[in-house]
Structure 1
Amino acid sequence: MLTISTMSAPNPIPTTITPTPPPSGGNLPLRSIPGSYGLPLLGPIGDRLNYFWFQGQDTFFKKKREKHNSSVFRTNIPPCFPFFVDVNPKVIAVLDVPSFSHLFDMNIIEKKDILVGDYMPSTKFTGDMRVGVYLDTAEEKHAKIKNFTTDILRKSSGVWVSSLISNLEIMWNTVEQSISKDGNANVLNPLQKCLFNFLAQGMLRADPANYSPELAETGHVMIDKWLAIQLLPIVNINLFQPLEEIFLHSWTYPFFLVKGDYNKLVSFVSKEAQEVIQRGKTEFGLTEQEAIHNLLFIIGFNAFGGFSRFLPALVNNLGLNNSEIQNTLRKEVREKCTSPSLLSFSAVQDMPNVASFVYETLRFQPPVPLQFGRARKDFELQTHDTRFAVKKGELLCGYQTIVMRDPKIFDDPETFVPDRFTGDKGAELLNYLFWSNGPQTGKSDANPPNSSLERMVREMWDPNRGWIFEYFADYFPGDVLKNIMSHELIEDEDYSIDNIFWNGSSSGGFTINSAM
């Protein structure tokens, strides 16, 4: 099977993955799921007030876990009464690693329209269509959008480094100028501007500055507003209570508030990303509108939204930890990458302390804290020590911030340990480190047909550069990568696509497919 792996944001639409299997539960005791949903109206509104106001998310889930002496229990979560009559707030909370892992088994879990729970923002925010993240894996369109997304990530990987460096330089110059002028600086605004331009240049192959000065300067603000209007009913923004409950969590806000900005973003993608859009149409069977609105959602919701939460947490953790880890990371980066021109996927993979610091930030502060899945059929859900019967149609809710602090998996789970994921033990822990769509070690179960293999091979080869070795960095050590770079691509009509091979290989049959 040929699998292409890329470094990506915490929240892209991934290929279908095989999660870390739950432990065998044949001998575990079977319990009924504790907890209740309370009286109609009163139960949901009480849980909502605790969730947003009186307790907050962390304490809300922790107190319920303590009350029921169980990492699995029934509860309500927002949104709910009074104006969410079509939303069912009832969920089964799963708060340890074994139970949480069930959310990524597509044989028992359905993902239709439950990205943020039973509540789904109006499709007006996404071009009057259900974009990829709202589709179940069994829906035909899901596979097309998934493959389109992974193709974009694969193709864009060659320009990530140069684009990121150039945009980071602009960002840090802006921050330094603010500090020189005012003595302080707001980092979030220049960071989001950097992210928007980087993602547009990398994934869309489009520069906002070439489209309009307005988009280059405020495109990130447009996405912020588009995200905020959709998510206001389910996020806590810590304003004055009870005003937040009355005005922000009681009803949805209409699309027309951000319609003008969204249409500007659509126009930008439509005009400047035609190469990517055409690939979506010709190679993946999408309509032009499907390609445009899915591209906007991937960039705006998944990547921009995820990075806007994750990168500040990463920098904050670096600042809060002692100077020793800063010195360790600085030394490792400077030893492995002596100049920005040498920065690459293979170089980063040779930095175990940097990787561990990033993984620990993902564990400690997951960018996407809530995960949902609806039972596709009746099944038994397993924790470390118990089994529970789940009925078809019930909605599961995993609060990843608590799950990733499971004391039976992670030592000293409430402490940020920068080198937690180094060495053999650290590598084993990666089986339990979940991104928003599965474990870090999850594998694709897709088996690309020969036409996909041929397309991938052609993407790996640049007539002017040779083999683009970054594509192979996940599979081969440095000495093999250097050897690959010395060979050329040969295509012969006498061979099948599977036998596209490197000229000069000692075996004479060292094919792309067998090498992978």
Structure 2
Amino acid sequence: MWASAMSSAAPPVPTKTIPGSYGLPVLGPLKDRLDYFWFQGPETYFRSRVASHKSTVFRTNMPPTFPFFVGVDPRVVAVLDCSSFSVLFDRSLVDKRNVLVGDYMPSISFTGDTRVVVYLDPSEPDHARVKSFCLDILKRSAATWASSFHSNFDIMFDTLEREIAKGGSASGLVPVQQCIFNFLCRSIVGADPSASPEIGSNGFAMLDTWLALQLMPVTAVPNFPQPLQEILLHSIPYPSFFISGVYRKLYEFVEKHGEEVVLRAETEFGIDKKDAINNILFVLGFNAFGGFSIFLPALLTTVGTDKTGLRERLREEVRRVMQGRPGEARPGFEAVREMELVRATVYETLRLNPPVPLQYGRARDDFTLRSHDAAFQVRKGELLCGYQPLVMRDPEVFEDPETFSPERFKGAAGKEMLKYLFWSNGPQTGAPTAENKQCAAKDYVVETACLLLANIFLRYDEFVCADDGFTVTKLQKAAAAVPVE
């Protein structure tokens, strides 16, 4: 008996066999891995197969593969349009157990031998308890989130200004990561990183290393030469002992300086102390720090390299809104909610550059999957894989989908389009709960990105980045009193 992922209101479409194949054992997955990482790259890998199969749903292999990933099955059903991709949010049809990055799961020794919440399916008893705890952390941090961000924003841009004054340009990645790490530690852990000199100076780099070793087998590494990348980075799972000392220092920092948050996990949510700290570290390091470290540089580079007049329009909106809120020296959450273009710019950047490009889910039972123009039978246990940068360029949904156009998310029509913005493991119109897998910090990510842009255009008349990477080349400070046009 087939369950269905098709809306009863949708027009009928023909049922087809899922095209594509997995190739010969060992050789098929190896060829696909080399295409994915080396010969084509992720986007061309998926685009070329959509073109050859004339379908946005097809069978293929995904890394990691041969030779040392014992028990990892690379076979997936790719779902690359908005209709088929949305099935990944349907709890009744897909299971999210241990499929964060596909059939491969990094050893739980990376997370202190705790199977953290991101690997749990909502049907598992521990999921609701830990997800509720994460939502509670965010709710309690709301009062200080903006002020903590503001103080660290000032440090970040003071640093960039000094570097530009000395060398004419400044690499933005380290100052951004330091800013992100410091304000997230205060907001999530409730601790000042400077309480530990080593964590205060190097905590962001520790998290970078911890993340890299877990995700190396499934991540393309820019500027690392081939075939060395395949031989050294994508052929073996790296053991956690390389960073066990680093993780222990981060664990001890949270245990000592985040004791109030940890105690709340134990007393109010019934979570063991060890599991609480390991989940806090994962939320801090993977979900928050890792996600922001990808998304905020993409946002700043997109705005800083724009040649359509976007920066001028953003500056005008930010200053107009702030002038209409006398007594507020810095933008808060309420102020940025009035900045429609700022928010639309954040949404459009998330559409084209989602921080987590791949989403996975395993079929709970046999069901019928629908794309825009066909239906397909998916078998129980098959792993579905969606590549979001292609999904959110779906030409059936987005007009001129390859073009960066914040205006598509403005007005009533723009709000309607938010149901197709899937970056958070759910639609932007959805809400994270203890019963689903949508990112707990979905709204905080958007608000923080809006705060970043609002602060930039309140502080600077001009903000320019180089076209080749996240390098800031111009920061022209605004006059003390900014007239609003």
TM-score, L = length of structure 1: 0.81
8 Å Cα contact 1:22/1:99 also seen in 2: no
Deviation at 1:175?
Answer: 1.3
Residue 70 of structure 1 is matched in structure 2 by 55
Say if 1:266 and 1:296, in contact at 8 Å, map to a contact too.
Answer: yes
Q: SS in structure 2 opposite 1:435?
A: coil
Report the identity percentage. Answer: 54
Cα distance, 1:327 vs structure 2: 1.3
Q: How does 1:7-22 map to 2 (within 5 A)?
A: none
Cα deviation digits, residues 295-323 of structure 1 (max 9, x gap): 00001000101001100110111022225
- Per-residue Cα deviation, 1:247-298 (whole angstroms, up to 9, x for no partner): 1000011111111111110000000111111111111110111110000000
Structure 2 residue 210 is matched with structure 1 residue 226: yes
Match of residue 399 from structure 2: 411
> What SS does the aligned partner of 2:408 have?
coil
- In the alignment, the residues of structure 1 paired with residue 170 and residue 298 of structure 2 have an alpha-carbon distance, to the nearest angstrom, of 17
Pair 153,312 (structure 1): closer, same or farther in 2 beyond 3 Å: same
Determine the structure 1 residue equivalent to 2:165: 180
Residues 128 and 434 of structure 2 are in contact (CA less than 8 Å); yes or no, is this contact kept in structure 1?
A: no
Q: Which residue of 2 aligns with 1:383?
A: 371
Secondary structure in 1 aligned to 2:369?
Answer: strand
2:312 is the counterpart of 1:327? yes
Q: TM-score, normalised by structure 2?
A: 0.86
8 A Cα contact 1:281 1:288, kept in partner: yes
Helix, strand or coil for the counterpart of 1:439? coil
Task: Answer yes or no: is 1:163 the counterpart of 2:163.
Answer: no
Distance 1:266 1:22, change over 3 A: farther
Aligned residues between the structures: 428
Partner Cα separation in structure 2 for residue 400 and residue 282 of structure 1: 39
Residue of structure 2 aligned with 1:285, choices 255, 263, 270: 270
CA–CA distance in structure 2, aligned partners of residues 443 and 219 of structure 1: 31
In the TM superposition, structure 1's runs of 4+ consecutive aligned residues that sit over 3 Å from their partners are: 20-26, 338-342, 443-447
Aligned-partner residue type, residue 32 of structure 1:
T
> What's the counterpart of residue 263 of structure 1?
248
Q: Secondary structure at the match of 2:309?
A: helix
Aligned residue in 2 for 1:14: none
Say if 1:23 and 1:74 are closer, same or farther in 2 by CA, change over 3 A. Answer: farther
User: How far 1:343 moved relative to its partner?
Assistant: 2.1
Rounded to whole Å, the distance in 2 between the matches of 1:184 and 1:336 is 30
2:107 equivalent in structure 1: 122
Q: Distance in 1 between matches of 2:431 and 2:208?
A: 32
Q: Does 1:429 align with 2:417?
A: yes
Contact 2:182 2:193 (8 Å CA) reproduced: yes
408 and 68 in structure 1: CA distance in 2 versus 1, 3 angstrom threshold: same
* Equivalent position of 2:121 in the other structure: 136
CA distance in 2, matches of 1:32, 1:365: 31
Mapped partners of 2:248, 2:9: distance in 1: 51
| Structure 1 counterpart of 2:197, from 213, 221, 225 | 213
TM-aligned CA deviation for residue 180 of structure 1: 1.9
2:182 to 186, 197, 210: 197
C-alpha displacement at 1:155, in angstroms?
Answer: 0.6
Unaligned runs of 5+ in 1: 1-19, 448-473, 475-516
String of CA shifts for 1:177-213, please: whole Å, max 9, x gaps: 1222233222101110110000001111100102x11
Report the equivalent of 1:451.
none
Distance in 2 of aligned mates of 1:205 and 1:161: 14
The SS at the match of 1:236 is coil
Does 2:261 align with 1:276?
A: yes
Query: Equivalent residue for 2:357?
Result: 369
SS in structure 1 of the partner of residue 314 of structure 2: helix
Distance 2:318 2:358 in 1: 33
Aligned residues of 2:15 and 2:376 also touching (Cα < 8 A): yes
Query: Could you say what secondary structure the match of 2:170 adopts?
Result: coil
In the alignment, structure 1 residue 301 sits paired with structure 2 residue 286: yes
8 A contact 1:78–1:89 mirrored in 2: yes
Q: Measured at CA, do residues 445 and 237 of structure 1 come closer, stay the same or move farther in structure 2, by a change above 3 Å?
A: closer
Aligned to 1:494: none
Aligned equivalent of 2:331: 343
Which residue of structure 2 aligns with residue 506 of structure 1?
Answer: none
| Structure 1 residues 194 and 445, CA gap change in structure 2 (3 angstroms) | closer
Deviation at 1:399, TM superposition (A): 0.3
